[in-house]
Amino acid sequence: MQIYVCVKHVPDTAANIKIVGETGYNDSACKFIANPYDEYAIEAAVQLVEKQGGEAVAVTVGPESAVGTLRSAMAMGAARGILIKTEEQFLDTDLTARALKAAIEADGKQADLILTGKGSVDTEGFQTMYRLAGAMGLPVVNEIVKLEVGGGKATVEREIGAGSREVLEANLPCVLGATKGLNEPRYPKFPDIMKAKKKPVDQKALSDLGIDPSGAKTKLLKLEAVPERSGAKMIEGAIPDQVSELVRILREEEKVL
Amino acid sequence: MANIGVLMEIEGGELKGTNFGVLTAAHEQGKNDVYAIVPGEKADAYKDALAAHGAKKIVEVSVSGADLSKSPDLQARALAAAIDEYSLKGVLGLASPIGRDIFARMAADLNLPLVSDAVAVDFDQKTVRKSHFSGKTFATLQLDAEVLLCTIRPNAIEAKEASEAAEIVAFSPSVSDPGRVKVVDAKLSASDKMDLTEAPIIITGGRPIGSADNYKILEECARALGTAAVGASRAAVDAGYAPHSMQVGQTGKTVSPKLYIGCGLSGSVQHFAGMKTSKVIVAINSDKDAPIFEKCDYGILGDLFDVVPALTKALKES
* pLDDT value of residue B40: 86
Closest alpha carbon within chain B to A37: B251
Which residues in chain A have Cβ-Cβ distances shorter than 8 Å to B197?
161
Query: How far is B88 from B98, CA to CA, in rounded Å?
Result: 21
* pLDDT value of residue A221: 97
Give pLDDT tens digits for B289-300: 999 999 999 999
Do B135 and B156 meet the contact criterion of CB atoms below 8 Å apart? no
Conformation bin of residue A77: beta by default, left when phi > 0, alpha when psi is -120 to 50: left
DSSP per-residue letters across A42-79:
HHHHHHHHHHH-SEEEEEEEE-GGGHHHHHHHHHHT-S
DSSP H or E segment with residue A93: helix A93-106
Chain B interface mutation, best of A94, A176, A218, A241, highest count of B Cβ atoms under 10 Å? A218
- Tell me the average pLDDT across A103-110: 97
What share of chain B in percent tops pLDDT 90?
93
CB atoms within 10 A of CB A68: 14
Q: How many CB pairs under 8 A join A and B?
A: 257
Give pLDDT tens digits for B136-176: 999 999 999 999 999 999 999 999 999 999 999 999 999 99
DSSP H or E segment with residue A19: strand A19-20
pLDDT surpassing 90 at residue A163: no
> How much is the ipTM here?
0.96
Residue B105's pLDDT band (boundaries 50, 70, 90)? very high
Give pLDDT tens digits for A171-188: 999 999 999 999 999 999
* pLDDT value of residue A155: 98
CATH number attached to the domain at B3-171 = 3.40.50.620
pLDDT surpassing 80 at residue B190: no
Which residues in chain A have Cβ-Cβ distances shorter than 8 Å to B296?
229, 232
- Please state which architecture CATH assigns to domain B196-317: 3-Layer(aba) Sandwich (3.40)
Closest alpha carbon within chain B to A127: B104
Asked if B142 lies within 8 A of A219 by C-beta distance, the reply is yes
* pLDDT value of residue A214: 87
Do A164 and B189 meet the contact criterion of CB atoms below 8 Å apart? yes
DSSP H or E segment with residue B203: strand B201-205
CATH number attached to the domain at A2-215 = 3.40.50.620
CB atoms within 10 A of CB B178: 15
Give pLDDT tens digits for A113-161: 999 999 999 999 999 999 999 999 999 999 999 999 999 999 999 999 8
* pLDDT value of residue B144: 96
- For chain A, give every domain's residue range: 2-215, 227-257
Do A183 and A43 meet the contact criterion of CB atoms below 8 Å apart? yes
- For chain B, give every domain's residue range: 3-171, 196-317
Residues 190-209 of B with CB under 8 A from A: 191, 193-198, 201
Mean pLDDT, chain A, whole residue set: 96
| B3-171 and B196-317 share one fold | yes
